[in-house]
Amino acid sequence: MNNQVTTKVKNVLNGFTDHEIGEDHLFTGLETPMKKDAFKLTDEEKKSKISNLFEEIMDVMGLDLKDDSLKGTPDRVAKMYIDEIFSGLNPANKPKVALFDNKYQYNQMLVEKEITFYSNCEHHFVPIIGRAHIAYISSGKVIGLSKLNRIVQYYAKRPQVQERLTNQIAEELKFILGTDDVAVIIDAKHLCVSSRGIKDDTSATVTAFYGGSFNNSAKIAELQNYLKL
């Protein structure tokens, strides 16, 4: 029995439906769920299929695809999905990162805050709009500041759950920097909450990862002072 089926059986035994699990924003693991043959098709083949399928969706909804404003929409959506908002699904788009020696002997936390990102909720495919704050303490190497932004964008550009996004960014930075001394805080608004369902436009969700030296109250307080959270 595969993991997906096992999870489904456990959910049923515990009295939960897949719909209820999705609404609670739970997730199954650190890795984004992908099929084994996810990259069997080229990007162009994927765009062609998505365009055809989205055209069918629009037709079912009763939209007139002969209208000048609508007839190009299926192609635009397909291009947007593959080349833009879900480009983080393809490992070929992972940012290349170069490290530099910490010649400045700077051994305190470095904080990059207010990194804006746009992601999409994997339960309803509507936007998650947020800010990421990243901190690390060098173990001898430093990373270019813009690369921190690129790592956030890479993992955000896929169907996501905020908890997973937080942990994926943290684990990537731990691996690249060779240290556990990494912290990631994400503050985001979910349009699946504000534009549908409960329609609460004022709430926001905050998730955090504190690793290594950051996993103590003094360092957390110092970091939060920098962020003014």
124 counts as catalytic? yes
Q: Which of 55, 123, 133, 168 is catalytic?
A: 123
Q: Which of 55, 168, 172, 190 is catalytic?
A: 190
Q: Which of 122, 133, 153, 160 is catalytic?
A: 122
123 counts as catalytic? yes
192 counts as catalytic? yes
Eight-class DSSP state of 71: T
121 counts as catalytic? yes
55 counts as catalytic? no
Q: Are 166 and 182 in contact (CB under 8 A)?
A: no
Q: Which of 23, 25, 112, 124 is catalytic?
A: 124
Four-residue CA torsion sign, 34, 35, 39, 42: negative
190 counts as catalytic? yes
45 counts as catalytic? no
Q: Which of 160, 162, 168, 172 is catalytic?
A: 162
Could you tell me whether strands 110-121 and 141-143 are parallel, antiparallel, or unpaired per DSSP bridges? unpaired
Q: Is 52 helix (H, G, I), strand (E, B) or coil?
A: helix
The residue to which tokens 């992972």 are assigned = 94
Q: Are 191 and 127 in contact (CB under 8 A)?
A: yes
Q: Rounded to whole angstroms, how far apart are CA atoms 193 and 160?
A: 15
Q: Rounded to whole angstroms, how far apart are CA atoms 75 and 133?
A: 35
Q: Which of 160, 168, 172, 192 is catalytic?
A: 192
Interacting residues of 128 by C-beta distance below 8 A, sequence separation 6+: 118, 119, 120, 121, 156, 160, 162, 188, 189, 190, 191
Catalytic residue set: 121-124, 162, 190, 192
